[in-house]
Structure 1
């Protein structure tokens, strides 16, 4: 698993640069907090605020990212004040925490900005429990949080703006739903149940560290959309926590109270969190757990018993999330996977239409963005089918079908990349055979997509003209047509919900 994480593709070294930028941003936040005379707990708050801002803000454009970052104090400050005011009123505090958790999940219906603000609000309440925040500390914590956000913004939008050079592709959202048919609504209800269970059982384990169970249950629902995804994420969270605890015993406990070694190891953990997040949730959680252990060491409360309690609380949170996702308004893996596959197939159609228009001589047509869109959608398909292809999945027939679907969709993406490269060749010109092949691809896509979701073609007629790119384009189109035809069997066989 470690080898796979280290050797995972990193186009343009984006993961590497994002992780390095995160270390710079968090370090700047901590340094500024310390230089301005803030207390240790305030400095930690500022560093965590910078980490969250760099990690959770995922809007498609730099302008949108800057606006979302500017709105973070509006989500964080009121929640921090509420948590501090209720710190010694357990019933009101618990009720408020659950309300913030539910609102944080429901906010995802408003896209990346709602997701980010929801995460920041929840984590602000969580950090207040972690640090034992009281009202008298609010001015220092709020100013440190603001410093942390300013430091993160200075690095992200000034010193090292990766997104400006590599804008992420826009991905169409699945068809909108309403009421309990909306995934975010169902997850909000599930989180309410899971959070209430985790809070109750977590307090039976510890009256001081109960919030770890609630946090574990809540984070398991982040970036998941189905029952299977949530269960797999819960398993990986526990596995990552256990791995991180083992590492914490080796590095965090011996370094307890030592500022320089702790700072160096914390920087490595921040790098590891960002570098592994996109490829391994287990390893990301391991780095998070070691970072938390180091922070507990700085606060002078770290020992083996505390680390063991963290494992127990995480296990309780994962169990409560599993119970809620299975019994309360479950969203099947099949339903979620099918929605993303339909999106990917429509993207195949759009990419083919753009390539056909470009080959027909349209200067405005460009299939390259559509290829990037398809790659992103395939990432969502892979995430959605993770429960079916997981090594522990007992559903062998469905596992094989899922793998076949993934392989064929990868074939489609490969052929479309080749087609886009041919279309980009200035020497390429219209060939009547290309238009016919594109129409056959459109027919193949329509055979796999419900009639209501079919999109019109974009074919341009013209006289035949032989050119070097025509044969290569035809080869890609024929291979794409075969892959789409082969997809029919596994997609129809997997029509039974998982």
Structure 2
């Protein structure tokens, strides 16, 4: 895990910046003499501001960060006002869940605002916030967001000048056909189950189950993704509780070592999040145990209760995605496969125009988008590729599709680099080969049993090459055709049929 490649030390820098931002928020509120719950609220607000805001440009990130208190503070006030009134509080919590998930239809900003709003309601339960404490908690949340903004935009700005392409979203229609709306209903059912069963297990810590059900739905789009996410959350929580028994309980809330370990946990959350959800949950669970130690309520039974509530939340999420407007893994992954093929087609078309002498045509953006789509596809097919998946035929089919598309991505990257070479332009063979690739992708994306089969790549005919890059570009195009041809069998076969080579 910690030896995984980190190009440009991006994860290291982001994680270190997060520790700096959260530490600044905690230090400012502590020096100001605010009570411990307010200090924790400031640290949580800073962590969320740094973790959830993921807009593609710095300007949009600044706008989203500024909007966090406008969304979160009214929710915090509502939760505090409803303290001790179980019925209205539960109804309001579920309403926040629905609105928070439905807001994902507005992309990265909606996702960040929805998460922040939910966590403000959650934090009110965690801290047992009362109406009289709202001024102090409001000041703490504002301090946390400001500290995160200061570190992110002034002290240590890490975002590149040329932002990466925004992650595409699957097409959706209106109403229940929209993915965010469909998932909002699933999340409400899951959280309602978690709330009811969680309160039966513990009338004081029931919100852990609701939090588990909520977070399992973040960045998932299908039934399989949600089930795998639930399994990984329970696994990570169990390991985190074991670590808490060894590390957090013996400390008995000692301030200095606890603060140091919380900083390590913050670093671990940001460093492991892109790689492993289970490892991230180990860090989150250990940090929660350390915070309960600071509050003076930590004991082994409390950690065991957290594992029970996590299992309840995961069960609620599993039941919801199974019975409420389910989206199969095949349906979700098929959308991303088509998106990847469309990127390949657009790259070939842009390359053909560039090679024909159009300087405005640029395949590079399509290559960057293809990388993002393939990353989302890997998340989508992860349930099929999981070692515990019993669906061997579908696992082999998914693996064959990923291998083919990864090879397409390699050839497309090489083609885009060579298309930028002015000496390789105006070669009829290259333009013809690009058109063949476009045709092959069109055949792959056609549907129905009578759809035309993808032709085998044409043989490379020897011609005197005026420039070495021409031969290299032809080789990339020929290999790209071959990769597209190998995708015909798994894409046209039945999802449950054995993969054919």
Cα RMSD (Å) of the superposition? Answer: 1.7
The 4+ residue runs of structure 1 with deviation greater than 6 A are none
Q: Give the Cα–Cα distance (whole angstroms) in 2 for the partners of residues 439 and 256 of structure 1.
A: 69
Q: Which residue of 2 aligns with 1:189?
A: 185
Which structure 2 residues correspond to residues 390-429 of structure 1 after superposition, within 5 A?
390-429=386-425
Q: Which residue of 2 aligns with 1:8?
A: 4
Once the two structures are TM-superposed, the CA of residue 102 in structure 1 deviates from its matched residue by 1.3
Render the CA deviation track for 1:266-288: whole Å, top value 9, x for unaligned.
11111111111111111111110
Contact 2:98/2:184 (CA < 8 Å) preserved in 1? yes
- Structure 1 stretches of 5 or more lacking a match? 452-463
Which structure 2 residues correspond to residues 247-258 of structure 1 after superposition, within 5 A?
247-258=243-254
Aligned residues: 483
Aligned mate of 2:76, from 47, 57, 80 = 80
Q: Which residue of 2 aligns with 1:491?
A: 491
Render the CA deviation track for 1:137-193: whole Å, top value 9, x for unaligned.
100111111011011001111122211345122344322321212221121111121
Q: Which residue of 1 aligns with 2:169?
A: 173
Q: Which residue of 1 aligns with 2:481?
A: 481
Once the two structures are TM-superposed, the CA of residue 111 in structure 1 deviates from its matched residue by 1.2
Q: Give the Cα–Cα distance (whole angstroms) in 2 for the partners of residues 167 and 128 of structure 1.
A: 36
Contact 2:77/2:134 (CA < 8 Å) preserved in 1? yes
* TM-score, structure 2 normalization: 0.93
Q: Which residue of 1 aligns with 2:306?
A: 310
CA 1:357/1:255 → structure 2, altered by over 3 Å: closer, same or farther? Answer: farther
Render the CA deviation track for 1:402-451: whole Å, top value 9, x for unaligned.
00100111101111111122223354332111001101110111012248
Q: Which residue of 2 aligns with 1:319?
A: 315
Render the CA deviation track for 1:28-70: whole Å, top value 9, x for unaligned.
1111111222111101101100100111111111111110111
Q: Which residue of 1 aligns with 2:443?
A: 447
Q: Which residue of 2 aligns with 1:221?
A: 217
Contact 1:351/1:416 (CA < 8 Å) preserved in 2? yes
Contact 2:221/2:332 (CA < 8 Å) preserved in 1? yes
Q: Give the Cα–Cα distance (whole angstroms) in 2 for the partners of residues 449 and 406 of structure 1.
A: 16
Which structure 2 residues correspond to residues 95-494 of structure 1 after superposition, within 5 A?
95-165=91-161, 167-450=163-446, 466-494=466-494
Render the CA deviation track for 1:227-264: whole Å, top value 9, x for unaligned.
11100000000001001111111111122321111111
Q: Give the Cα–Cα distance (whole angstroms) in 2 for the partners of residues 431 and 142 of structure 1.
A: 65
Contact 1:429/1:465 (CA < 8 Å) preserved in 2? no
Q: Give the Cα–Cα distance (whole angstroms) in 2 for the partners of residues 109 and 450 of structure 1.
A: 28
Q: Give the Cα–Cα distance (whole angstroms) in 1 for the partners of residues 29 and 163 of structure 2.
A: 31
Q: Give the Cα–Cα distance (whole angstroms) in 2 for the partners of residues 320 and 466 of structure 1.
A: 65
1:49 paired with 2:45, answer yes
SS of alignment partner, residue 253 of structure 1: helix
Q: Which residue of 2 aligns with 1:456?
A: none
SS of alignment partner, residue 163 of structure 1: coil
Render the CA deviation track for 1:172-220: whole Å, top value 9, x for unaligned.
4322321212221121111121111111110111111000001101111
SS of alignment partner, residue 168 of structure 1: coil
Q: Give the Cα–Cα distance (whole angstroms) in 2 for the partners of residues 469 and 256 of structure 1.
A: 67
Contact 2:237/2:310 (CA < 8 Å) preserved in 1? yes
